[in-house]
Amino acid sequence: MIVLTFSCPDRKGIVASVSKILFEGGANIIESNQYSTNSSTKAHFFMRIVFEPESLKGLNDINQKLNGFSSIFNAEFKLTDTSVKKKAAVFVSKEDHCLYELLWQKSSSDLFLDIVCIVSNHNILLPVAESYRLPFIYAPYRDNAIEQEELIKKEFERLKLQIDFVILAKYMRVLSKNFINSFCQNIINIHHSFLPSFPGAKPYVQAYQKGVKLVGATAHFVNEKLDDGPIIEQDIIRINHGDDINEIKRKGKIVEKLVLAKAVKLFTEDRIIEHDNKTIIFE
Amino acid sequence: MIVLTFSCPDRKGIVASVSKILFEGGANIIESNQYSTNSSTKAHFFMRIVFEPESLKGLNDINQKLNGFSSIFNAEFKLTDTSVKKKAAVFVSKEDHCLYELLWQKSSSDLFLDIVCIVSNHNILLPVAESYRLPFIYAPYRDNAIEQEELIKKEFERLKLQIDFVILAKYMRVLSKNFINSFCQNIINIHHSFLPSFPGAKPYVQAYQKGVKLVGATAHFVNEKLDDGPIIEQDIIRINHGDDINEIKRKGKIVEKLVLAKAVKLFTEDRIIEHDNKTIIFE
Amino acid sequence: MIVLTFSCPDRKGIVASVSKILFEGGANIIESNQYSTNSSTKAHFFMRIVFEPESLKGLNDINQKLNGFSSIFNAEFKLTDTSVKKKAAVFVSKEDHCLYELLWQKSSSDLFLDIVCIVSNHNILLPVAESYRLPFIYAPYRDNAIEQEELIKKEFERLKLQIDFVILAKYMRVLSKNFINSFCQNIINIHHSFLPSFPGAKPYVQAYQKGVKLVGATAHFVNEKLDDGPIIEQDIIRINHGDDINEIKRKGKIVEKLVLAKAVKLFTEDRIIEHDNKTIIFE
Amino acid sequence: MIVLTFSCPDRKGIVASVSKILFEGGANIIESNQYSTNSSTKAHFFMRIVFEPESLKGLNDINQKLNGFSSIFNAEFKLTDTSVKKKAAVFVSKEDHCLYELLWQKSSSDLFLDIVCIVSNHNILLPVAESYRLPFIYAPYRDNAIEQEELIKKEFERLKLQIDFVILAKYMRVLSKNFINSFCQNIINIHHSFLPSFPGAKPYVQAYQKGVKLVGATAHFVNEKLDDGPIIEQDIIRINHGDDINEIKRKGKIVEKLVLAKAVKLFTEDRIIEHDNKTIIFE
């Protein structure tokens, strides 16, 4: 199957044109979703189509015609083969719950991706990498984040890793602008609060002190501003006055791992389109 | 705006054909969703498209072409003008929470429909009808349900009511096969359990005795088999050992009224397609 | 039934002592909950007990002994007769959904309270007050909030209203410090966001712009700092990229009215104890 | 800490008496909950108290006095040391998600228990047992369930395992009455539906065919009647028309593992009291 994601300034006839291109290329449309930001002045159009191509030639024709169409309609599009696994580097610090959830969902085929290495600023989770026979890149703390990241990048090169996206699975170190851009912003982070509540450090302590009745977790793309990238998925869990900080953390971990895994699933299935620091998600 | 709902046995080219018809008729597609039951042998295709017609002539052309197309593709389709309110008859017995929720959501424009009358087998809620200046049809209990229903139908005629669908907002009387069919199965019921758990009478008492930890409500289309029609919407609320039957009922009422209002909203916006005793819902 | 709420610095023997006092006074304990903030240095103890008194004399004895006990243990306690309805003044502006939910839950006995008047800075909801035969106090906008509040207080006096607590059911005007204190902080507000996210004005617009995937509502006691009083109850509803601000508001209203009604219910049943700008809630 | 769970026919003075016994034994009550089934004719009383004993002698005194008290009040009680881990045998078939969740929550100390062995009617999950260095008891299918169970029991004896309770973590084989009783009904099962909906085999297929909008999972104690023991915990997840059976299973697995882990947590913390085929749960 092929997934087409597509976006452009909205105008009449887009669906008809794209459908015609697909039909003429012999594509059998399995699933299709579209959405337009309805604001009259500068509406923007988004589409996700899953189709079965008839032949490689047909697919090439489609690609070519979409290219032509896109330059006219000022569109961005992407064709992705769903049978190819995306390759992820998973960054962790000391906590293992998100990492284990990703590994388990991968091994049970609930997540369709390759995990090509585990990166950490601590060596605590080395045994996990070993038991799953995954390269473990240990890049201990440096005052200068750039130095630390250079070390990571060198290891990527040395190991000849091809990386499509990065998952920050409770990686407790802010990445540099430079590093973020080198992954074209394909970096998914899990923040342990219901953003924009409690950004920054120790959100559960903040939540406890504030006396909120729900805590949450937020998976988002990473941009240069801390905890401010486009939100992909959020969820919450109920807490009460009797929950101390440890219990809040325990409950929170369950939400964190599920929210992160959900966001990764959406990403691997090309269901997310970023626009204006927000996400359009075709579920 | 016009809503097109469309379904037919799945085959290649449906989206392209329909999109072409719409484009040629000058339609501006605002929203579109489709779905196919993926089973290879007898896949079925469903689509909902919202579009702005260019002109009445354009709309007529679209209608005509869809007619031709449908006879070839063995399709069913419907074009609905979203500016026309659907007309509902609301049936109640003694409980008022669902009725009030519908009336309130209607008056706040959260539900876009006309309530043309209130029908009841009791006269307890007459004052509600009066305060909203709605005809109240009182059809007290008869051993013979048909007689009771005849009385209701006569009142419909006498009052010259045009009725698009029926909402059973806690109407505690089983309707006859004949009555159900006379509304083309456009009858939405709220059942106060998470069906198929606890069908029939006194579901909260059954739930209490069973010791479940959640109770739910189910909005469904009514068919000839009791509590077995296509499910539109369900939701649940948590209960615990300390909740007696009254407290379970109290919590349940909140879910009931919200689930029913949600189902009615989906219906009034032509978001539901029935197929094989199930519902496809384009949200 | 009598509800005893009780709190004091924690130390050994409190439960035994209080239980003994109740037992000797002939009380039959129906329900009991306790909680201690477990921090070793200055743990604080909270308790809520529901009991059936044997006689008025027994109840008086209990009251007297608790008084003695409290001065020794530095405790605060309150005995409340559950058969007496608390009297509420409901403040509104233009939106009616919270008001209607309170009125409906009251009339269906799901909320056990008296609503003694409706106060508003607009006259839009006057007809609602009339249809429920409730005094409507119209206090239109003044630059000087104090003047506006004086007008309200004068009406309270003129109508000889006894008011136990105030419900701000979407009252869009900040109250003065003086007014808040005159109700001993027994003022419950509904804020239409998941605090501390989006305090202040137009939280749904903020939520839309931020692209969050959930919106919430927060019921809290009002203190002198805007939207910062002790949180009583919170809940959320899922939104997605397709929801514009109107749809977010519509979904939000459902959460708002339920969260406010829940908080009011907890208050009327004496289930809330405030401590350190947080709430202990015995459900 | 010591947990006291206690239940007896309700009558006046129970709390006072038990509190007095604890106070005289030097206990410091940390947490206390009680509940009474309020039905006038045969009300039953339940209590859970967590306390810090002053000394072993004090604890012994408390135990002795409670014994005396219990024979008078016809009560059942249990004193449990929270520092002692309960020992579990985990039964599995082919699916690993519940097993992994238990192992992870144990290793992260979110669950406080010992897993003493893994039992299976298949050998697929042997490598998991090996990687966690746990005994793996392989008891392949026999027509005669009793024979299969005898094999398991023999292995328990040979390995000299002490087992406090059994967790059926997706064990797809019905246990004999005899086996169930030999564990005093301390057997927790996870059923992959929202019971009483869809008992028996293939609940997700049933759910798909019925077209429900939510699927759930139920953790319950096992009794002699299939899928009919006292319910401990339930939760649900939303599905829609687009989810095929595989996707429903995938979503369901997330609920299953969390509901089972929650039930196990409640059990290990002595928060569950069984009564009349239902559970009282002190959270």
- Which of C33, C99, C100 to mutate against chain B (most B CBs within 10 Å)? C100
Q: Hey, what long-range contacts does D63-66 have (CB within 8 A, 24 or more apart)?
A: D65/D21, D65/D24, D65/D25, D66/D4, D66/D6, D66/D18, D66/D21
pLDDT at B39: 61
Which whole number is the average pLDDT over B150-174?
96
Contact C100 B100 (CB under 8 A): yes
- The one-letter amino acid code at B79 reads L
Question: Are B2-81 and B86-281 equal in CATH topology?
Answer: no
Mean pLDDT of chain B: 93
- The one-letter amino acid code at D154 reads K
Q: What is the ipTM of this complex?
A: 0.92
Rounded Cα gap, residues D18 and C278, in angstroms: 31
pLDDT at D40: 58
Contact A254 D258 (CB under 8 A): yes
Q: How far is CA A171 from its chain centroid?
A: 15
Any chain C CB within 8 A of the CB of D152?
no
How many Cβ atoms are within 10 Å of C56's Cβ, its own excluded? 8
pLDDT in tens, C66-78: 999 999 999 999 9
List the one residue out of B108, A30, B275, D248 whose CA is nearest residue C98. B108
List the one residue out of D120, D117, D201, D191 whose CA is nearest residue D160. D117
Any chain A CB within 8 A of the CB of D238?
no
Nearest by CB: C258 against B110, B250, B254: B254
Q: How far is CA D54 from its chain centroid?
A: 30
Which whole number is the average pLDDT over B201-227?
92
Which whole number is the average pLDDT over C182-203?
90
Does B40 have pLDDT greater than 80? Answer: no
Any chains having at least 3 CB pairs less than 8 A from chain A are: B, C, D
Question: Percent of chain D at pLDDT above 90?
Answer: 79
Rounded Cα gap, residues B242 and D45, in angstroms: 12
Q: Which of A7-16, A87-96, A182-191 has the lowest mean pLDDT?
A: A7-16
Please report the residues numbered 159 through 198 in chain C whose beta carbons come closer than 8 angstroms to any beta carbon of chain A. 194-198
Does A39 have pLDDT greater than 70? Answer: no
How near does any CA of chain B get to the CA of D104, in Å? 26
Does B41 have pLDDT greater than 80? Answer: no
Rounded Cα gap, residues C29 and C51, in angstroms: 4
What residues form DSSP beta bridges with B80?
A: B3
How near does any CA of chain D get to the CA of A211, in Å? 19
Burial label, D183 (beta-carbon count in 10 A; 0-12, 13-18, 19+):
middle
Does A35 have pLDDT greater than 80? Answer: yes
Residues of B in Cβ contact (< 8 Å) with A283: none
- Which of A31, A48, A102, A104 to mutate against chain D (most D CBs within 10 Å)? A104
Q: pLDDT category, B11, cuts 50, 70, 90?
A: confident
Any chain C CB within 8 A of the CB of A234?
yes
Any chain D CB within 8 A of the CB of C246?
no
Going by the DSSP 8-state scheme, the letter that residue C189 receives in this structure is: E
Report DSSP letters for A104-160, one per residue. HHHHTTSS-EEEEEEEESSSTTHHHHHHTT--EEE----SSHHHHHHHHHHHHHHTT
Rounded Cα gap, residues D66 and D53, in angstroms: 14
How near does any CA of chain B get to the CA of A10, in Å? 9
Catalytic residue among A10, A61, A164, A227: A227
Contact D35 C36 (CB under 8 A): no
Contact D254 A254 (CB under 8 A): no
pLDDT at C39: 61
Chain D CA closest to residue B281: D241
pLDDT in tens, C160-187: 999 999 999 999 999 999 999 998 879 9
pLDDT at B260: 98
- The one-letter amino acid code at C131 reads S
3-state secondary structure at position D181 = helix
Any chain C CB within 8 A of the CB of B110?
yes
- Which of A35, A194, A237, A259 to mutate against chain C (most C CBs within 10 Å)? A194
pLDDT at A104: 95
Chain B CA closest to residue A31: B35
Judge contact between B84 and B162, C-beta under 8 A: no
C-alpha distances out from residue B264 to B48, C164, C181, D201, Å: 17, 39, 45, 34
Of the CA atoms within 13 Å of residue A29, those in its CB half-sphere come to 29
Residues of D in Cβ contact (< 8 Å) with C34: 29, 31-32
How near does any CA of chain A get to the CA of B31, in Å? 6
- Which of B108, B246, B251, B269 to mutate against chain C (most C CBs within 10 Å)? B108
Q: How far is CA B11 from its chain centroid?
A: 29
Residues of B in Cβ contact (< 8 Å) with A35: 31
How near does any CA of chain D get to the CA of C11, in Å? 8
C-alpha distances out from residue A183 to A62, A86, A168, A178, B159, Å: 28, 14, 13, 9, 68
CATH classification of D2-81 is 1.10.10.10, yes or no?
no
pLDDT at A204: 92
Maximum C-alpha span of chain A: 64
- Which residue is it, tokens 């290495």? A117
What CA dihedral angle connects D117, D122, D124 and D126, to 10 degrees? 30
Q: Is the dihedral of CA B189, B193, B195, B198 positive or negative?
A: negative
Active site residue A227: yes
Contact B216 D214 (CB under 8 A): yes
Nearest by CB: D281 against B35, B210, B240: B240
pLDDT at B37: 84
Judge contact between B254 and B95, C-beta under 8 A: no
Which whole number is the average pLDDT over C21-48?
85
How near does any CA of chain D get to the CA of A74, in Å? 32
pLDDT in tens, C88-147: 999 999 999 999 999 999 999 999 999 999 999 999 999 999 999 999 999 998 888 899
Catalytic residue among C10, C96, C164, C227: C227
Does C49 have pLDDT greater than 90? Answer: yes
pLDDT at A165: 97
List the one residue out of A235, C261, D227, A153 whose CA is nearest residue B101. C261
Stated length of chain C: 283
Contact A32 B29 (CB under 8 A): no
Report DSSP letters for C92-153, one per residue. ESS--HHHHHHHHHHHTTSS-EEEEEEEESSSTTHHHHHHTT--EEE----SSHHHHHHHHH
Any chain D CB within 8 A of the CB of B13?
no
Beta strands C113-120 and C86-92, pairing class: parallel
Judge contact between B161 and B116, C-beta under 8 A: yes
How many Cβ atoms are within 10 Å of A5's Cβ, its own excluded? 19
Judge contact between C77 and C6, C-beta under 8 A: yes
Any chain A CB within 8 A of the CB of D96?
yes
Does A130 have pLDDT greater than 80? Answer: yes
Beta strands A278-281 and A272-275, pairing class: antiparallel
Tokens found for residue C210: 């931020």
pLDDT in tens, B233-258: 999 999 999 899 999 999 999 999 99
How near does any CA of chain B get to the CA of D148, in Å? 32
Q: What is the CA radius of gyration of chain B?
A: 21
Q: Name every residue whose Cβ is closer than 8 Å to that of residue A113 and which is 6 or more positions away in sequence.
A: A85, A86, A87, A88, A106, A264, A268
Give chain D's end-to-end CA distance (angstroms, integer): 17
Q: pLDDT category, C41, cuts 50, 70, 90?
A: low
Bond prior to C196 in cis (omega within 30° of 0): yes
- Which residue is it, tokens 């949450």? A216
User: If you classify domain D86-281 with CATH, what class do you get?
Assistant: alpha beta
pLDDT at B145: 86
* Alpha helix segments (H runs only) across chain A: 14-24, 56-73, 97-107, 126-131, 145-158, 177-182, 203-210, 245-268
Residues of B in Cβ contact (< 8 Å) with C242: 31
Any chains having at least 3 CB pairs less than 8 A from chain D are: A, B, C
3-state secondary structure at position C236 = strand
Does C222 have pLDDT greater than 90? Answer: yes
* Alpha helix segments (H runs only) across D74-230: 97-107, 126-131, 145-158, 177-182, 203-210
Rounded Cα gap, residues A56 and B5, in angstroms: 33
Chain B CA closest to residue A12: B28
Does C154 have pLDDT greater than 70? Answer: yes
Q: Tell me the count of A-C CB pairs closer than 8 A.
A: 69
Contact A210 C196 (CB under 8 A): yes
Nearest by CB: C34 against D17, D32, D35: D32
CB-based burial, A35-68: b 16+ in 10 Å, e otherwise = bbbeeeeeebbbbbbbbebeeeebbebbbebbee
Please report the residues numbered 112 through 131 in chain B whose beta carbons come closer than 8 angstroms to any beta carbon of chain C. 131
pLDDT at B23: 87
Any chain C CB within 8 A of the CB of D240?
no
Q: pLDDT category, C15, cuts 50, 70, 90?
A: confident
Any chain D CB within 8 A of the CB of A10?
no
Which whole number is the average pLDDT over B37-64?
88
| Orientation angle between helical segments D56-73 and D14-24, nearest 10 degrees | 160
pLDDT at D228: 87
Order of strands across the sheet that contains A86-92: A136-138, A113-120, A86-92, A165-168, A187-191, A214-221, A231-238
Question: Residues of chain D whose pLDDT is less than 50?
Answer: none
Phi, psi of C231 (to 5 degrees): -80, 130
pLDDT at A41: 65
Catalytic residue among D61, D164, D227, D270: D227
Beta strands B136-138 and B113-120, pairing class: parallel
List the one residue out of D99, D88, D155 whose CA is nearest residue D131. D99
Chain C CA closest to residue B131: C131
Tokens found for residue A61: 């024709």
Rounded Cα gap, residues D260 and C160, in angstroms: 57
Phi, psi of A241 (to 5 degrees): -55, -25
Any chain C CB within 8 A of the CB of A233?
yes
Q: Name every residue whose Cβ is closer than 8 Å to that of residue C58 and which is 6 or more positions away in sequence.
A: C25, C26, C27
Contact D100 A97 (CB under 8 A): no
Please report the residues numbered 31 through 60 in chain A whose beta carbons come closer than 8 angstroms to any beta carbon of chain C. 35, 38
Chain D CA closest to residue B263: D213
Residues of B in Cβ contact (< 8 Å) with C108: 96-97, 253
3-state secondary structure at position C26 = coil
Q: Where are the domains of chain C?
A: 2-81, 86-281
